[in-house]
Amino acid sequence: MSGVVIVGAGQAGFQVAASLRQGGFAGAVTLVGDEPRLPYQRPPLSKTYIKTDAAFDSLLLKPESFFEKHAIALRLGESVAAIDRAARSVTLADGSALTFDHLVLATGAANRVVPVRGHDRRGVHQLRTAEDAERLRAELAAASTVAIVGGGFIGLEVAAALQALEKRVTVIEAADRLMGRTVSRPVSAFFLDEHRRMGTTILLGTAIDSVLGDQRTRGVRLSDGRDIDADLVLIAAGVTPNDQLAEAAGLRTDRGVVVDQHMRTDDRAIFAIGDCAVFPSVHTGTAVRLESVQNAVDQAKLVAARILAQDDDAATLEPYRAVPWFWSDQGPFKLQIVGLTAGADHVEMAKLDEAGKLVAYCFAGERLLGIETVNRPGEHMLGRRILADGLLVARDAVARHDFDLKTHFN
Ligand code: FAD
């Protein structure tokens, strides 16, 4: 029986299946995932899960009964090894095949391996899956010093979580600032101060040379020759998209599976969404690949709607235009970002009189690209509306001492 086959039972894959059923799709829906677990949320892994004894079930997107009730066939603990585009089928690792009318690639991304000497020693961890988090959590009790390689969202969320467990934490970041790919300089600087205040040692402009120890890690050697003690090392140095399956099937890839504004690959029967997909953004005018729950969910909903509408006419289809947003919880600080702010050439900081809060308006010329906030959810939510509706926020208005986004749009 054909129907929709979804490769990857993560955030995006789950959402396609759920939205198809919600929209009344009557055909077969099969969700194939190589992790042996029901679809779950990853964000808590680096925030609460590693520092508590929370049960895995608390992460579930839906209980098992949901999949039974909605006739979503689960093939968990199984991986898709190949796509036969001519036969419209996929082959699983055990040799069995599934045919499809539509195939959705939601294969996500894998942690980047930093190829330094000793990276495979015991006590060296990565964090992408619940299994990774549980392994890390199990070893944390006996560790007092932790080195984290990478000062991005995940490294910093873990650093803050480990401060709560009173570990001695060092973050090693090769760039000259924290979260350099994703936030503006003032926001990087704010988090540098706050993490240091929480007790974390942060080394910027510093690379790791090797992991020290015999079988188990006892620390890391830095590229400048210094040694840092560490009972545990977490490598959190970014991800690479899982696009090998698509590439082997002759689909276009370019650091991700290349899709059009409707999430379609070159093969009209095959979509790609979420962390694995590179798509033309209507917001930046460039090809982007985003790693966020919002992006995974919204692209999944769009693809489900396309399949339900059985409409393949590019002239009548609305392109993917959801406004990107993201959050990161680092100790007491909730960072929220709306828009894609990487191309900003000017950042206007709101004049707030409250400590520990921040609103950064990121402009390219006169155009507002996005807003980065810390512990200011009101401005974040309003920012989403402003960007979605294309409302204008003038740079000189924001620069005024008494500017307030909420009064400006009331
Ligand atoms: P994934 O959720 O990675 O799912 C892909 C699945 O496909 C995986 O299970 C993978 O094993 C499987 N797969 C791959 N290849 C195959 C194959 N051939 N056959 C079968 N299965 C396959 N985002 C936020 O917006 N806010 C946050 O605070 C936040 N925190 C995060 C914290 C952590 C620790 C991590 C790891 C991510 C976080 N993210 C956060 C990012 C967010 O979780 C991802 O963007 C989202 O999970 C992407 O969904 P996806 O379905 O594209 O990929």
Q: What is the CATH number of the domain that holds 274?
A: 3.50.50.60
Site to substitute for ligand 1 among 11, 46, 50, most atoms within 8 A of C-beta: 11
Instruction: With cut-offs at 50, 70 and 90, classify the pLDDT of residue 312.
Output: low
Strand ranges inside 277-316, DSSP E: 277-280, 287-288
Position 306: which residue type?
R
Does 197 lie in the same domain as 302? Answer: no
For residue 32 and ligand 1, the question of a CB distance below 6 A is answered with yes
CA–CA dist 157, 261 (Å, integer): 32
Does 292 lie in the same domain as 400? Answer: no
The alpha carbon of 230 is separated from its chain's Cα centroid by a whole number of angstroms, namely 27
Site to substitute for ligand 1 among 46, 107, 148, 242, most atoms within 8 A of C-beta: 107
Q: Which of 217, 235, 253 is the last residue of a domain?
A: 235
Does 243 lie in the same domain as 200? Answer: no
For residue 239 and ligand 1, the question of a CB distance below 6 A is answered with no
Model pLDDT for residues 337-365, shown as the tens digit of each residue: 999 998 899 999 988 878 899 999 999 99
Does 387 lie in the same domain as 358? Answer: yes
Instruction: With cut-offs at 50, 70 and 90, classify the pLDDT of residue 311.
Output: low
Model pLDDT for residues 207-229, shown as the tens digit of each residue: 999 999 998 999 999 999 999 99
* Burial of 110 (C-beta count, 10 Å sphere; 0-12/13-18/19+): middle
Model pLDDT for residues 190-199, shown as the tens digit of each residue: 999 999 999 9
> Is 316's pLDDT higher than 90?
no
Structural domain harbouring 148: 113-235
Q: What is the CATH number of the domain that holds 358?
A: 3.30.390.30
Does 134 lie in the same domain as 103? Answer: no
Averaged pLDDT of the chain = 95
Strand partners, 358: 374
CA–CA dist 303, 323 (Å, integer): 17
Atom of ligand 1 nearest to the CA of 78: 20
What is the tally of helices (H) and strands (E) in the chain?
Answer: 10, 26
Does 91 lie in the same domain as 168? Answer: no
Q: Which of 207, 235, 263 is the last residue of a domain?
A: 235
Number of folded domains that form the chain: 3
Which one-letter DSSP state was computed for residue 274?
G
Q: Which residue has the tokens 């579930």?
A: 60
Q: Does residue 245 fall inside a structural domain? A: yes
Q: Which of 175, 210, 235 is the last residue of a domain?
A: 235
Does 118 lie in the same domain as 223? Answer: yes
User: Is 258 in contact with 278 (CB distance < 8 Å)?
Assistant: yes
Q: What secondary structure does DSSP assign to 114-128, as a single string?
A: ---BTTTSBTEE--S
Kindly state the average pLDDT of the residues 33-46: 98
Q: Does residue 323 fall inside a structural domain? A: no
By mean pLDDT, which of 159-163, 266-270, 349-353, 370-374 is the weakest? Answer: 349-353
Does 221 lie in the same domain as 170? Answer: yes
